[in-house]
């Protein structure tokens, strides 16, 4: 079964709903329409070797789950599928009568604390990372290892590039040797004529290690160098992550973030609070409320009207509240596997026999 085959054979469709921001009541005029649904396979595909757990369009705006996969994810308390099951009103585009047998109360459990709130905490960490990247942009030109090397000078140290400048020397004419019992410390030797065939401090600009040389006995060390290898490794990691983020980021959302002046992904933070609220509601009311009752507050976040620091503090307070309500909640610890498994068997029997 492919996405297009399902669209052409809609007799296999069991559920189709508008999801995402439009279902939550948090959409803007520019928001896309996201669709999720449930389908079942022709019997030959279910029993044969061509089982298809889900299908989607090219943009991933429309995603449909095979009945067994749908039940499996509900059993795991997957937020997207619990929301899909709990969709109501005009957001339901089609619903097969058999879907009435699938009740949210069979699945809602204390697992929702980790699937809803846990995911939200992951988004907060991402928001912190994004905040750090926006506040601390990195130049495209990558620093060389030389910028993490320092020479003992006077009663302190100075960057090796500054030291070379003061001496009027070239790094290519330097030779380094390890200093015993002194981690990341090297003796520096210098050959102004370049006849000693020293390797330099680094061989190339993209070198990740200092170069070591064989030093003739006639040479004496002229200074001692410390290479901050840990600092260099951290810089390389941060540089890689930053420019991967730049290349992959959604430019429209990024520009909106910058325009708001708040230095956080406002849409991401809005959904973080939505998930925290829903996690708390599930523990208290034992149901998933898809249409958000605090729409105005969430849209304030999306418009970037709140400070990043205040939002993080508020989210951390919310996390403590969620811990307490789950301790007191009457929700089951996890769904009953036997009941869920039998439900799937019964549904398949109705569909195929």
End-to-end alpha-carbon separation of the chain, Å? Answer: 20
| Sheet order of strands, 149-153 included | 156-159, 149-153, 223-227, 185-190, 174-178
- Among 27, 25, 37, smallest CA distance to 92 is for 37
pLDDT along the chain (353 residues), means of 10: 96 98 94 96 94 95 98 98 96 97 97 91 68 74 96 94 96 96 95 91 93 93 96 94 78 53 74 94 97 96 86 89 96 98 98 93
Q: Across the strands, what pairs with 149?
A: 227
Note the pLDDT of residue 282. 97
Give 348: exposed, middle or buried? Use CB within 10 Å, 0-12, 13-18, 19+. middle
pTM: 0.68
Note the pLDDT of residue 305. 87
Domains of the chain, CATH where assigned? 1-107+335-353 (3.30.460), 109-137+250-332 (no CATH), 145-234 (no CATH)
Note the pLDDT of residue 82. 98
Which residue's structure tokens are 């809602």?
108
Note the pLDDT of residue 252. 53
**109 vs 103: CA distance, rounded Å:** 13
Note the pLDDT of residue 122. 76
């Amino acid at each position: 079964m492919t996405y297009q085959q399902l669209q052409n054979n809609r007799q296999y469709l069991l559920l189709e709903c508008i999801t995402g921001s439009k279902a939550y009541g948090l959409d803007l005029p520019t928001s896309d329409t996201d669709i999720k649904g449930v389908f079942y396979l022709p019997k030959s595909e279910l029993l044969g070797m061509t089982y298809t757990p889900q299908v989607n369009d090219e943009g991933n705006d429309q995603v449909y789950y095979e009945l067994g996969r749908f039940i499996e994810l509900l059993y795991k308390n997957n937020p997207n599928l619990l929301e899909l099951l709990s969709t109501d009103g005009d957001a339901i585009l089609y619903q097969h009568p058999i879907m009435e047998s699938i009740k949210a109360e069979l699945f809602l459990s204390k697992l929702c604390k980790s699937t809803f709130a846990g995911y939200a905490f992951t988004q907060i960490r991402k928001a912190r990372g994004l905040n750090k990247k926006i506040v601390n942009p990195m130049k495209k030109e990558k620093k060389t290892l030389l910028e993490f090397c320092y020479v003992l000078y006077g009663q302190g140290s100075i960057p090796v590039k500054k030291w070379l400048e003061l001496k009027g020397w070239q790094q290519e004419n330097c030779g380094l040797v390890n200093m015993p019992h002194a981690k990341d410390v090297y003796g520096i030797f210098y050959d102004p004529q370049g006849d000693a065939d020293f390797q330099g401090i680094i061989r190339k600009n993209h070198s990740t290690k200092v170069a070591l040389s064989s030093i003739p006995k006639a040479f004496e060390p002229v200074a001692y160098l410390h290479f901050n290898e840990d600092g260099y490794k951290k810089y390389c990691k941060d540089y890689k992550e930053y420019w991967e983020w730049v290349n992959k980021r959604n430019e429209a959302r990024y520009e909106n973030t910058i325009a708001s002046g708040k230095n956080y992904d406002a849409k991401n933070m809005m959904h973080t609070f939505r998930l925290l609220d829903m996690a708390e509601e599930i523990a208290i009311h034992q149901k998933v409320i898809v249409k958000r009752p605090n729409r105005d507050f969430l849209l304030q976040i999306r418009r970037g009207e709140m400070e990043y620091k205040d939002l993080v503090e508020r989210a951390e307070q919310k996390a403590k509240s969620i811990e307490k309500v789950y301790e007191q909640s009457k929700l089951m610890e996890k769904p009953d596997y036997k009941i869920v498994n039998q439900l799937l068997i019964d549904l398949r029997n109705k569909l195929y026999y």
